[in-house]
């Protein structure tokens, strides 16, 4: 029947083919090294396909504007509780539909247009939403950058503390998208609190490492708020959250997220977020520690093959990320494109010494190993990946030849690990239950 439909409606066939071909390409045939991506477990994916995607739930659990939500309310409370257990706080709100939306709500709660924010600078990896070009700018908040120390590849703490005391901002932001060493929450929070500023630490990239216990939890180090995505090292559905130390901050941001930044908050992701939280409770420690081991192993393996990996002097990385300086190999655009032709998926990235006009062709490549770790790869596989990357970047082999090896290599890593396992029959049963209840 499907075959008949596909031959009768060419546009339908086109959409169908693009979707299934993409899925085969990225789930079977590529080595995915984008640091902001991950894959859900089959159980989380299946429960994502539920009727809640059709419904509206404005307001808060048990205080909604529409009827029919008794199970949604309970599920939202449960999912928030599970995330709270992992983050060691009672105050988690899953209504932000993305990390950027969470930032918007947190920034807006503590500032008015014209107020000042002291932010971790772009060199320290800051996300566009923390800058005048993104959410911060859209809210009319003035951006003042903390100084950066290239030796530490981090915020220059002493200078940042002085700056905060001088500027007396309303908010201070930490966290980043190019994020290899933890930002110094404790001293920054002390300085911020001494001038009455709130500290918002954006952990979008490292949430999975925090709940796995291998990265410091900013909430226990003095940050007032964490904002996050739920789909980077935390391998849940695309979405966002904020969590706070104090109940009053939780309530205040809660009054801003709705009605200012979401109405419906994409309810079908709640079940998948809860399943992922449960999987992280069971397997998160093993997953997160393997992620960091893999990142260090990949960095070492690339460096030993003549590719410049930044921060050798500090052991390359403490996170899921490995940062390459490819200025000797044709720069970021060329390298990322050649790797893509070999089915190795990375992104080009600005490095601290790049000039603003280098944005189209920066000198860096950012790599994240969280997804390949989920596919079950360990240190030995990191060495193989480094060899494949080297063949493209250093040896300038024909990418098509490397692509064949990549597809062969992936064949042994087609099942998501660190999650609840179900059988193929269970999958069919569950899908059928969700489609035809
Ligand atoms: C990815 C990222 C975001 C944005 O998250 P979305 O969920 O894509 O909106 C925000 N902050 C940081 C630091 C990020 O890396």
283-410: CATH topology is 3.90.1150
Q: What is the DSSP string of 386-403?
A: HHHHHHHHTS---HHHHH
The pTM of this model reads 0.98
173 lines ligand 1 (CB under 6 A): no
State in Å: Cα 13 to ligand 1 middle: 34
Across the range 189-194, mean pLDDT stands at 98
State in Å: Cα 238 to ligand 1 middle: 10
Residue 124: band (very low, low, confident or very high) from pLDDT cuts 50, 70, 90 = confident
Looking from the CA of 185 toward its CB, the CA atoms found within 13 Å total: 22
Angle at 254 (CA atoms; ends 222, 62), nearest 5 degrees:
125
Place of tokens 């390359």: 316
Known binding positions for (6S)-5,6,7,8-tetrahydrofolate: 126-128, 248
Across the range 31-49, mean pLDDT stands at 98
Residue 191: band (very low, low, confident or very high) from pLDDT cuts 50, 70, 90 = very high
129 lines ligand 1 (CB under 6 A): yes
37 lines ligand 1 (CB under 6 A): no
Buried b or exposed e, range 120-143, using 16+ CB within 10 angstroms: bbbbbbbbebbbeebbbeebebbb
State in Å: Cα 397 to ligand 1 middle: 35
Which residues on adjacent β-strands are paired with residue 349? 364
Helices (H) and strands (E) counted in the chain, each on its own, are: 16, 16
CA nearest ligand 1 atom 5, residue: 99
Across the range 386-403, mean pLDDT stands at 98
Known binding positions: 126-128, 248
CATH no. for 46-276: 3.40.640.10
Residue 32 has pLDDT above 90, yes or no: yes
Q: Where do the DSSP E strands lie in 41-195?
A: 59-60, 63-64, 91-93, 116-119, 142-145, 148-149, 154-155, 171-174
Domain ranges in the chain are 46-276, 283-410
Residue 90 has pLDDT above 90, yes or no: yes
176 lines ligand 1 (CB under 6 A): yes
36 lines ligand 1 (CB under 6 A): yes
Q: Quick one: which H or E segment has residue 365?
A: strand 364-368
Residues of the chain with pLDDT > 70, as a percent, come to 100
Residue 279 has pLDDT above 90, yes or no: yes
174 lines ligand 1 (CB under 6 A): no
233 lines ligand 1 (CB under 6 A): no
State in Å: Cα 405 to ligand 1 middle: 33
């Amino acid at each position: 029947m499907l075959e008949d439909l596909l031959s009768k409606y060419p546009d339908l066939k086109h959409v169908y083919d693009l979707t299934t071909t993409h899925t085969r390409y990225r789930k079977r045939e590529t080595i995915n090294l984008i640091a902001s991506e991950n894959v859900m477990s089959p159980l989380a994916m299946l429960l994502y396909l539920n009727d809640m995607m059709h419904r509206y739930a404005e307001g808060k659990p048990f205080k909604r504007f529409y009827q029919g939500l008794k199970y949604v309310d309970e599920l939202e409370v449960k999912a928030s509780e599970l995330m709270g257990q992992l983050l060691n706080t009672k105050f988690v709100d899953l209504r932000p539909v993305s990390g950027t939306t969470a930032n918007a709500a947190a920034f807006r709660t503590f500032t008015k247009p014209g107020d000042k924010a002291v932010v971790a600078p772009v060199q320290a990896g800051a996300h566009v939403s923390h800058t005048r070009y993104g959410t911060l700018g859209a809210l009319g908040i003035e951006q003042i950058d903390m100084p950066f120390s290239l030796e530490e590849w981090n915020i220059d703490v002493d200078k940042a503390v002085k700056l905060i005391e001088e500027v007396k901002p309303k908010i201070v932001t930490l966290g980043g998208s190019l994020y290899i060493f933890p930002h110094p929450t404790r001293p920054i929070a002390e300085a911020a609190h001494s001038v009455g500023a709130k500290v918002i630490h954006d952990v979008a990239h490292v949430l999975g490492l925090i709940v796995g216990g291998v990265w410091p939890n900013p909430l226990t180090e003095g940050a007032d708020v964490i904002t996050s995505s739920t789909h980077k090292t935390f391998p849940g559905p695309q979405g966002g959250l904020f969590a706070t130390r104090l109940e009053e901050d939780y309530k205040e941001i809660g009054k801003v997220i709705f009605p200012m930044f979401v109405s419906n908050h994409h309810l079908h992701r709640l079940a998948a977020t809860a399943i992922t939280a449960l999987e992280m409770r069971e397997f998160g420690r093993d997953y997160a520690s393997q992620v960091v081991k893999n990142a260090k192993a990949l960095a070492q393996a690339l460096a030993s093959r003549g590719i410049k990996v930044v921060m050798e002097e500090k052991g390359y990385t403490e996170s899921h990320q490995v940062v390459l300086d490819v200025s000797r190999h044709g720069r970021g655009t060329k390298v990322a494109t050649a790797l893509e032709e070999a089915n190795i998926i990375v992104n080009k990235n600005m490095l601290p010494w790049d000039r603003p006009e280098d944005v189209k062709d920066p000198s860096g490549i950012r790599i994240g190993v969280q997804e390949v770790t989920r596919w079950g790869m360990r240190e030995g596989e990191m060495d193989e990946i480094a060899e494949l990357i080297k063949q493209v970047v250093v040896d300038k082999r024909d990418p098509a030849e490397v692509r064949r090896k990549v597809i062969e290599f992936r064949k042994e890593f087609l099942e998501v690990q660190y999650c609840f396992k179900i059988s193929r029959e269970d999958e069919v049963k569950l899908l059928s239950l969700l489609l035809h209840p």
